[in-house]
């Protein structure tokens, strides 16, 4: 007998019929003998509808009130789900973030979990009940104010509860069958991965894969919580995210796990920067002060002029306005010539823990893109990832070409081990 | 500078436009120099929609979960209202029942308030903010579980907060201009009352007037909280519910304040009851055990048979099934002949603190009904109220006839003082 944490997203509980279907699955897990904790998001479009209501009231809703408003959504879904489970003859109790002991800091809208004191959940489980917990929300213990965890918050709630309760697994139910080697909408031959390491999943999430949020994977890795990403619409086994090497399985990992892509970034180029020590630091201090996270950075000697250089960096397109405005203010002080902004870029990332020990991955990647006629504008690498920036309208072609080149297409079976020279 | 508690019902905050309108009124009250606490119900039909959702899930929703579900409604309205007020440049913070310190017993669905520890509200007021509080909800301190107060719960929340904060007045905003001498939909010439005593208001509420719930008036009387019932759609002064006799005003109260009516009751007649001591007690024990509140009781010697009697009583029609089923089970033991059930009755009540010292009110009432050709089936009186049961389809005529007979029609000015003999 184990302890399972299950998390269901908004599309899994979109209406009464969906809630009943999910309830059946939960009741089965409970009847199979496990203790079950369920984290649930708001039904379907509830959160968007509440945001729309707030926008009808004011262009600038105070963040404390916004958090109270949005958490109404999980309150509705969690109580309905508890009712549906009770209706199947299995005891169930729902708990708000506060009742579940999810303590956070006081940053409304994107609070961080600082502790999970799940004694009430433990008590409910010991009493034989399924515990349903509102995802995405917590409470600031100092002020007893409701907070929300921001995007992907329900996944984080699930992993945090799994860690606090020392659950055997945290099952994240979604509308796809698991983590794929590429987005199946772009690469129809993409394969579902049976397992993937935390590290790889982190790089996938950071590179635009939407199935799990970065923050939730970080939390899972830090606390060694195995995540099982699977579909709430089928009974299929999904993708296991873990560190473990299971005995009996091949120790030979495939080099490449998948190809991620991201169209949500933009590129800023600061042109004609004085090529003296400290200027780059000044530029990125200005951007950081505007609360903008940057991703890739490239610096080139300016072709035309001596003593000047160009600095390009990528950032979430949503922050483009903020960053360019902040740079404009600092232009005279820093002494660069101009700022160029381009939001028609795409990012392709090749991810695989196996590439650590296999050189030549980058070369093969660049070759595949060249053969497909795709120009590379920026490059960035980490131990288990290579990312390139392309034109946005060439990104789909790039993903397909790379997916094929690395033998990831499902018709070819397991990914081939590529050995070459010069990464 | 005083402290005002305002309560807005669901129709006053039905949509974004209504919420903004109400916000303006609240901001004005605050700018006029008073401390303002606002209690708010769920928007429009939200509560009904949530109940409908629950019914789609299960015919028997657990009451704990039902309470969590329903309280989502006030969470939405209160946060939106706080945003709307903030948008007018007035600081506002919203508070759940728990945050506002509304402690209740553990009877989900119709919890009773056992204490109000409003330190957080006091703190918000001291900090210069308007405090918005979710109506209808509290928390069971022992288990930290959310409870709801049942029908009219938001009014009770408002009065309870007004009592705890020693507010100068509790303003109950509704969609009518105040308490009327009769339902204006039935009696177009009904007059708005400027003031009414707690006692009269209690009898009005108990007799079917829907403007304030019995329980809220009881709470106000016990704690001497003046209630001002007024419209959220106009600036008119409404009806003041209080015990006070204001100096300078006439000490001469009108005999009759108003005519209330109620079509929600039914009549049960237990036929052929053995006329021996203790049988009536047995019958009402059975009904009480079924958790049914009865209203009027009449016992007659059975016309047809000696040694037998008929007992009639009225009860909420919603409880009719429960009561007759319980009686059927007990029939052999008690030994009555049959049970008759009639839900086509109406109740008319004449209410006025002044009737205590003016005999002849009942006689005039019966005369007016006789002149209008209306048959009286049951009669019940209290110190300041006379109620009669008529056919349901004659009730409107009865209300109009009595309203006119007692000089309550607005064209006639103030109610005439009636002195007669033999109440």
ipTM of the complex: 0.79
Domain identity same for A167 and A288: no
Does residue B416 surpass a pLDDT of 50?
no
Task: Read off the tokens for A360.
Answer: 């030549």
Range of the domain at A128: 3-175
Tens digits of per-residue pLDDT, B220-235? Answer: 999 999 999 999 888 8
Does residue B181 surpass a pLDDT of 50?
yes
Does residue B414 surpass a pLDDT of 90?
no
Instruction: Find out whether B403 and B187 touch, Cβ atoms under 8 Å.
Output: yes
**Mean pLDDT across B132-159:** 94
| Residue B73 belongs to some domain of the structure | yes
Question: What's the CA gap between B73 and B154, in Å, rounded?
Answer: 12
Q: Which residues contact B279 (CB under 8 A, 6 or more apart)?
A: B273, B334, B335, B336
Does residue A213 surpass a pLDDT of 90?
no
Does the beta-carbon distance from B62 to A75 stay under 8 Å?
Answer: no
**Mean pLDDT across B162-168:** 97
Question: What's the CA gap between B388 and B349, in Å, rounded?
Answer: 6
Question: 3-state class of B118 per DSSP?
Answer: coil
Query: Is B153 labelled as part of a ligand binding site?
Result: no
Domain identity same for A15 and A135: yes
Does residue B139 surpass a pLDDT of 80?
yes
Nearest-CA distance A30 → chain B (Å): 19
* High-pLDDT (> 70) share of chain A, %: 93
Q: Lowest-confidence range among A143-147, A357-361, B22-26, B74-78?
A: A357-361
Tens digits of per-residue pLDDT, A3-59? Answer: 999 999 999 999 999 999 999 999 999 999 999 999 999 999 999 999 999 999 999
**Is B109 in the A-facing interface, judged by CB distances under 8 Å?**
no
| Residue A316 belongs to some domain of the structure | yes
Domain identity same for A27 and A166: yes
Q: What is the mean pLDDT of chain B?
A: 89
Domain identity same for B275 and B383: yes
Gyration radius of chain A over CA positions: 24
Annotated binding site of A for substrate: 47, 74
Domain identity same for B22 and B137: yes
Nearest CA among B400, B390, B414, B344 for reference residue B368: B400
Nearest CA among B150, B234, B145, B227 for reference residue B193: B227
Give the model's confidence band at B302: pLDDT under 50 very low, under 70 low, under 90 confident, else very high: low
Cβ density class A185-212: b for 16+ within 10 Å, e for less = ebbeebbbbebbbbbbbbbbbbbbbebb
Domain identity same for B277 and B142: no
For the four alpha carbons of B142, B144, B147 and B149, in that order, the dihedral sign comes to positive
**Most A-contacting residue of B79, B93, B98, B127 (CB-CB within 10 A), to test interface:** B79
**Mean pLDDT across A139-148:** 93
Domain identity same for B164 and B312: no
Tens digits of per-residue pLDDT, A299-309? Answer: 776 566 678 88
| Residue A197 belongs to some domain of the structure | no
Nearest-CA distance B316 → chain A (Å): 28
Domain identity same for B19 and B156: yes
Does the beta-carbon distance from B56 to A83 stay under 8 Å?
Answer: no
Q: Lowest-confidence range among A116-130, A142-156, A333-347, B408-422?
A: B408-422
**Mean pLDDT across B165-178:** 94
> Within 13 Å and on the Cβ side, how many CA atoms surround B68?
27
Nearest CA among B56, B245, B15, B270 for reference residue A43: B56
> Within 13 Å and on the Cβ side, how many CA atoms surround B369?
26
Distances (CA, A) of B45 to A302, B9, B302: 65, 11, 48
Q: Which residues contact B186 (CB under 8 A, 6 or more apart)?
A: B261, B396, B399, B400
**Is B293 in the A-facing interface, judged by CB distances under 8 Å?**
no
What contacts 24+ positions apart, CB below 8 Å, involve A89-93? A89/A27, A90/A26, A90/A27, A90/A30, A90/A31, A90/A130, A91/A127, A91/A128, A91/A129, A91/A130, A92/A26, A92/A129, A92/A130, A92/A131, A92/A132, A93/A124, A93/A129, A93/A130, A93/A131, A93/A132, A93/B64, A93/B65
Nearest-CA distance A83 → chain B (Å): 6
What is the reported pLDDT for A305? 65
| Domain final residue, candidates B123, B147, B175 | B175
Number of domains into which chain B is organized? 2
Does residue A108 surpass a pLDDT of 70?
yes
| Residue A182 belongs to some domain of the structure | no
**Mean pLDDT across B392-414:** 85
Chain B residues in contact with A65 (beta carbon < 8 A): 79-80, 82-83, 86, 92-94
Nearest CA among A66, A72, A20 for reference residue A41: A72
Question: What's the CA gap between B4 and B10, in Å, rounded?
Answer: 20
Does residue A421 surpass a pLDDT of 70?
no
Does residue B339 surpass a pLDDT of 50?
yes
Nearest residue, CB atoms, A72 vs list B65, B66, B72? B72
Q: What is the mean pLDDT of chain A?
A: 89
Count of residues making up chain A: 423
| Residue A232 belongs to some domain of the structure | no
**Is B55 in the A-facing interface, judged by CB distances under 8 Å?**
no
What is the reported pLDDT for B419? 30
What is the reported pLDDT for A151? 81
Does residue B402 surpass a pLDDT of 60?
yes
Of residues B165 and A278, the one with the higher pLDDT is B165
| Residue B231 belongs to some domain of the structure | no
Instruction: Find out whether A314 and A345 touch, Cβ atoms under 8 Å.
Output: yes
**Mean pLDDT across A310-329:** 93
**Mean pLDDT across A378-382:** 85
Q: Are strands A113-116 and A35-40 parallel, antiparallel or unpaired?
A: unpaired
Domain identity same for B169 and B271: no
Task: Read off the tokens for A414.
Answer: 């397991």
| Residue A288 belongs to some domain of the structure | yes
| Domain final residue, candidates A175, A193, A214 | A175
Give the model's confidence band at A250: pLDDT under 50 very low, under 70 low, under 90 confident, else very high: very low
Instruction: Find out whether B352 and B260 touch, Cβ atoms under 8 Å.
Output: no
Task: Read off the tokens for B240.
Answer: 């003041």
**Most B-contacting residue of A51, A80, A94 (CB-CB within 10 A), to test interface:** A80
What is the reported pLDDT for B259? 94
Instruction: Find out whether B155 and B7 touch, Cβ atoms under 8 Å.
Output: yes
Domain identity same for B302 and B388: yes
Chain A residues in contact with B86 (beta carbon < 8 A): 58, 61-62, 65
| Residue B33 belongs to some domain of the structure | yes
Which B residues in the span 56-75 are in contact with A, Cβ-Cβ below 8 Å?
56-58, 60-62, 64-66, 68-69, 71-73, 75
Does residue A411 surpass a pLDDT of 80?
no
CATH number of the domain encompassing residue A91: 3.40.1160.10
Question: What's the CA gap between A187 and A202, in Å, rounded?
Answer: 21
| Domain final residue, candidates A120, A140, A175 | A175
Domain identity same for B163 and B274: no
CATH number of the domain encompassing residue B257: 3.30.2130.10
Domain identity same for B298 and B381: yes
Closest residue of chain B to A139, computed from CA coordinates: B99
* High-pLDDT (> 90) share of chain B, %: 70
Nearest CA among B9, B3, B2 for reference residue B155: B9
Does the beta-carbon distance from B16 to A86 stay under 8 Å?
Answer: no
């Amino acid at each position: 007998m184990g302890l399972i944490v299950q998390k269901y997203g908004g599309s899994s509980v979109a209406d009464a019929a969906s809630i009943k279907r999910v309830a059946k699955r939960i009741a089965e897990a409970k009847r199979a003998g496990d203790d079950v904790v369920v984290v649930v998001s708001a039904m379907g479009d509830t959160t968007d509808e509440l945001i729309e209501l707030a926008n009808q009231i004011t262009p600038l809703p105070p963040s404390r009130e916004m958090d109270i408003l949005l958490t109404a959504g999980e309150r509705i879904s969690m109580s309905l789900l508890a009712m549906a489970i009770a209706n199947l003859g299995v005891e169930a109790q729902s708990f708000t973030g506060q009742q579940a002991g999810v303590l956070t800091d006081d940053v409304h809208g994107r609070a961080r979990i600082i502790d999970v004191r799940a004694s009430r959940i433990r008590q409910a489980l010991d009493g034989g009940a399924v515990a349903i917990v509102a995802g995405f929300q917590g409470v600031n213990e100092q002020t007893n104010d409701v907070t929300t965890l921001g995007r992907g918050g329900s996944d984080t709630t699930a992993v945090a509860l799994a860690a606090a309760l020392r659950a055997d697994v945290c099952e994240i139910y979604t509308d796809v069958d698991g983590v794929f080697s590429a987005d199946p909408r772009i690469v129809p031959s993409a394969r579902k991965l049976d397992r993937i390491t935390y590290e790889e999943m982190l790089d996938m999430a950071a590179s635009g894969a939407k199935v799990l949020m970065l923050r939730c994977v970080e939390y899972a890795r830090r606390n060694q919580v195995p995540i099982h990403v699977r579909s709430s619409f089928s009974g299929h086994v999904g993708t296991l995210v873990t560190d473990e090497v299971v005995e009996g399985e091949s120790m030979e990992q495939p080099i490449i796990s998948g190809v991620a892509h991201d169209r949500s970034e933009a590129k800023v180029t600061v042109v004609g920067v004085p090529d003296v020590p400290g200027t780059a630091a000044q530029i990125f201090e200005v951007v950081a002060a505007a609360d903008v996270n940057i991703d890739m950075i490239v610096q080139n000697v300016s072709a035309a002029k001596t003593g000047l250089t160009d600095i390009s960096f990528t950032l979430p397109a949503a922050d483009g306005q903020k960053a360019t405005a902040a740079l404009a203010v600092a232009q005279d002080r820093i002494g660069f010539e101009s700022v160029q902004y381009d939001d028609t870029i795409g990012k392709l990332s090749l991810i695989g823990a196996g590439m650590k020990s296999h050189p030549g991955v980058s070369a093969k990647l660049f070759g595949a893109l060249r053969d497909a006629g795709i120009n590379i504008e920026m490059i960035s690498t980490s131990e288990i990832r290579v990312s390139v920036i392309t034109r946005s309208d060439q990104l789909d072609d790039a993903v397909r070409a790379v997916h094929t080149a690395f033998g990831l297409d499902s018709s070819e079976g397991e990914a081939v081990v590529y050995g070459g020279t010069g990464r």
